[in-house]
A and B are shown apart, each in its own frame.
Chain A
Amino acid sequence: MSAHHAHAAMQADRSKRARTLVTPEGLSLPLTVGSRGARAGALLLDLVILLVGIIAVLVLFSAIGFGLLDIGSSPEASPVLQGLLVLAILFLFLSRYGYFLWFELGPRAATPGKRIVGLRVAARDGGRLTAEMVLARNLMRDIEVFVPAFFLLGGGQNSGAFGLATFIWLAVFVLFPVFNKDALRAGDIVAGTWVVEARHAKLKDAMSVAPDRTRDYRFEEAELSVYGEHELQVLERVLRQDRPESLREVAEAITGKIGWQLGAGDEREFLEAFYAALRGHLESNMRFGKRKRDKFS
């Protein structure tokens, strides 16, 4: 039962984050604003990737550097070492300011962390996401992510009244996304962007191509009007997951409700037939403008 509650809670949360985006040609597209948790997770993933990458590259650089030192202080080594140092400085600079920018400018408009949790950046007005927008949102990131992080790492919050004031001030930036319904951070506001879900969905098999069983199972109008669209979709999920115990549980619930007796082992056949009949019934009503949301309506 708790699984059902969790699912319902998730649905409620998703519908709170649902937005409709009207494209320039007037098509309305449903979008889901990325949850704050997912965005925090994506940021953490990106920071971990960055940190591991930085450590790996710096270890490599210093290994090359020490290798050159071993040869002795030959005059040839020094320009190479200098070049290495220049590269290291530029690499650190680019990893702080360039990582997010580079990936968000790509065709997926998402950093690796965002991709993993299924998010992407989009223009809030439904238009094209431009390079300048991505630039603006990532320039602001410095004060929202890196400055607070370095501040906390340096223990700045402990340094008296000034430290406390800075801490509170930085917290305003960090907590900004919590205080608006679209979870916009300061960079999103300045750039006119937002972060939305970008999940891929696989096209699953059509449900009614299973062998036609309308002859074996005939359902009356009254039996079909017990359930609504919500129950149909629960049934669809159960059929697609195809787990014997949940098939049995659902089949028993349905037969109990409509007063049928069912032999053992026939659960899947029965449910497929019932699904097809129920969907046909609800869809034909739908064509006449009658919709039944769930069993209570």
Chain B
Amino acid sequence: MVLSLFRKAEITPPADIEAASLRSDRFRLEREADWRRLDTIVTALEKNRPRRISDDDLLELPVLYRNTASSLAVARETSLDAATLNYLEALVRRAWFQIYGPRIELIGWLRRFLGGGWSAAVRAIWLDICIALVVMVAGTVVGWLLVDQDERWYYSLVPGGMAGGRAPGADPEVLRESLGTAEGADGLGVFAAYLFSNNTGVCILAFALGFAFGVPTLLLLVHNLSLLGAMYWVFSEAGLGLDFAAWISVHGTTELGAIMLSGAAGLHVGRTMMFPGDRSILSAMQTAGVRAAQVMAGCTIMLIVAGLLEGYARQLVGSTSARFAIGGAMLLFWALYFALVPAPQERDT
């Protein structure tokens, strides 16, 4: 009794086909076993347990699917049994979703993604990347100029908690200390994790804001980079401009790169919304959105790297030249990766 609960339910052919007085019911009873078989396979696929399906069943799946679909077509024309029609429609739909559903295998997807899908998507939005880069440079310059003109701008650009003593006119020694290294690796993991989750949040926001024709994305980029420009001004006033640049470059080439890419991805969607070209706006936006999503998935990877660089490398490596070397090497790596890795071969999956 208990065992029978665990045994796979046998699919028995319905008792007596001839007993049915209606022709449409006989049609149904003759095919019912096939439908139930397809149902069991589809249920196993939905539960993500394909190993429960026997080889025979798996081989028969396309045939069962086509037969059931044609049963549905016939039943629609000959049967008025609403319950059976409902069942068939739901079953065919479920089977279709499984056969054409997402077939995602993480390792395979990652290999394809890192092996060219990502770099191809990045190359495809080159124009937006150029725009984002220009806007970011402009934002930095604006931040620098504003604070250069009137120091009070610094306090409205940089939130108090973030400044942490790094204010205009601060003691150069305090500033130099803030660029220094940590004693040991203690607590740096927490710092790296916090940086990663925070920065990824900003990047996703930069992307999502692109939906409104890209304008808010531009504003976000300008705002974030003007902060950098303002801070650079403070350090260069104290004669620490080069040290600050080295300090930023350790993780900055990766992190600002990710921010640039996510901003560009947002712009790409927003720009497509404005200029869909000769396609319908919906299909143009879908192409742009899927491409931008690939760029964004890559941004997450870049930000993990940036978080580790910022949390560990920057806190442990102190010399200006070594910091520039790390930052420069990362920049070179990303530039070469995006420029040179070819797009993967087209496959239908």
**A261-287 vs B, Cβ < 8 Å mask (1 yes, 0 no):** 000000000000000100110110011
Closest chain B residue, CB of each to CB of A280: B22
**Given A107-B48, A129-B101, A131-B104, is A207 in contact with B293 using a C-beta cutoff of 8 Å?**
no
Q: How large is the interface on B (under 10, 10 to 19, 20 to 34, 35 or more residues)?
A: 35 or more
Within A6-43, the residues touching B (CB, 8 Å) are 23-24, 27, 29-31
Number of chain A residues whose Cβ lies closer than 8 Å to a Cβ of chain B: 76
A96: chain B residues at CB < 8 Å are 201
Q: Is A192 a contact of B22 with CB atoms below 8 Å?
A: no
Within A199-219, the residues touching B (CB, 8 Å) are 199-204, 206-209, 212, 214
**B258-285 vs A, Cβ < 8 Å mask (1 yes, 0 no):** 0000000000010000000000001101
Across the interface, A82 reaches (CB within 8 A) one of B69, B93, B189, namely B189
B204: chain A residues at CB < 8 Å are 97, 139, 142
Q: Is A206 a contact of B102 with CB atoms below 8 Å?
A: no
| A136 to B292 CA separation, bound complex (whole angstroms) | 8
B294 within 8 A of A: yes
Across the interface, B83 reaches (CB within 8 A) one of A89, A139, A236, namely A236
A134 within 8 A of B: yes
Listed in ascending order, the chain A residues whose CB lies under 8 Å from chain B are 23-24, 27, 29-31, 78, 82-83, 85-86, 89-90, 92-93, 96-97, 105-109, 120, 122, 124-125, 127-136, 139-140, 142-144, 147, 169, 172-173, 186, 189-192, 198-204, 206-209, 212, 214, 229, 232-233, 236-237, 240, 276, 279-280, 282-283, 286-287
Given A107-B45, A129-B100, A209-B29, output 19 extra A-B contacts at Cβ < 8 Å. A27-B69, A82-B189, A96-B201, A97-B204, A128-B100, A132-B293, A133-B290, A135-B297, A142-B204, A143-B205, A190-B269, A199-B90, A203-B39, A207-B22, A209-B15, A212-B19, A279-B24, A283-B22, A283-B79
Kindly name the residue among B23, B91, B102 whose own CB sees the greatest number of chain A CB atoms within 10 A: B102
B81: chain A residues at CB < 8 Å are 206-207, 236, 279
| A125 to B109 CA separation, bound complex (whole angstroms) | 22
**Given A27-B69, A89-B193, is A229 in contact with B80 using a C-beta cutoff of 8 Å?**
yes
* A35 nearest CB across to chain B (Å): 17
Q: Is A89 a contact of B190 with CB atoms below 8 Å?
A: yes
Describe B's contact surface by its main secondary structure: helix
Closest chain A residue, CB of each to CB of B69: A27
Q: Is A283 a contact of B80 with CB atoms below 8 Å?
A: yes
B20: chain A residues at CB < 8 Å are 206, 208-209
B338 within 8 A of A: no
B96: chain A residues at CB < 8 Å are 23, 27, 29
Q: Is B19 a contact of A134 with CB atoms below 8 Å?
A: no
Closest chain B residue, CB of each to CB of A189: B285
| A140 to B81 CA separation, bound complex (whole angstroms) | 43
Across the interface, A105 reaches (CB within 8 A) one of B104, B201, B205, namely B104
B236 within 8 A of A: no
| A207 to B93 CA separation, bound complex (whole angstroms) | 24
B346 within 8 A of A: no
Closest 6 CB pairs of A and B: A192-B286, A190-B289, A136-B293, A143-B208, A93-B197, A201-B90
* B302 nearest CB across to chain A (Å): 15
Q: Is A139 a contact of B186 with CB atoms below 8 Å?
A: no
| A139 to B293 CA separation, bound complex (whole angstroms) | 8
B92 within 8 A of A: yes
| A189 to B22 CA separation, bound complex (whole angstroms) | 47
Q: Is B97 a contact of A209 with CB atoms below 8 Å?
A: no
A276: chain B residues at CB < 8 Å are 21-22
B126 within 8 A of A: no
B296 within 8 A of A: yes
B87 within 8 A of A: yes
B194 within 8 A of A: yes
Q: Is B197 a contact of A209 with CB atoms below 8 Å?
A: no
**Given A107-B46, A136-B292, A276-B22, is A30 in contact with B89 using a C-beta cutoff of 8 Å?**
yes
B211 within 8 A of A: yes
| A270 to B197 CA separation, bound complex (whole angstroms) | 69
Closest chain A residue, CB of each to CB of B103: A128
* A203 nearest CB across to chain B (Å): 5
| A81 to B92 CA separation, bound complex (whole angstroms) | 52
Q: Is B83 a contact of A240 with CB atoms below 8 Å?
A: yes
| A92 to B197 CA separation, bound complex (whole angstroms) | 9
B226 within 8 A of A: no
Across the interface, B186 reaches (CB within 8 A) one of A78, A204, A236, namely A78
A85: chain B residues at CB < 8 Å are 190, 193
Across the interface, A93 reaches (CB within 8 A) one of B23, B101, B196, B296, namely B196
**21 contacting pairs across A/B (C-beta < 8 A):** A82-B187, A82-B190, A83-B189, A89-B193, A90-B197, A92-B197, A93-B196, A93-B200, A97-B200, A107-B98, A120-B97, A125-B283, A135-B297, A136-B290, A136-B293, A139-B207, A143-B205, A190-B211, A200-B94, A203-B39, A279-B80
| A232 to B292 CA separation, bound complex (whole angstroms) | 52
| A203 to B35 CA separation, bound complex (whole angstroms) | 9
* B292 nearest CB across to chain A (Å): 7
B151 within 8 A of A: no
* A228 nearest CB across to chain B (Å): 10
Q: Is B25 a contact of A206 with CB atoms below 8 Å?
A: yes
B177 within 8 A of A: no
B166 within 8 A of A: no
| A97 to B201 CA separation, bound complex (whole angstroms) | 9
* B341 nearest CB across to chain A (Å): 18
A212: chain B residues at CB < 8 Å are 19, 21
* B300 nearest CB across to chain A (Å): 9
B47: chain A residues at CB < 8 Å are 107
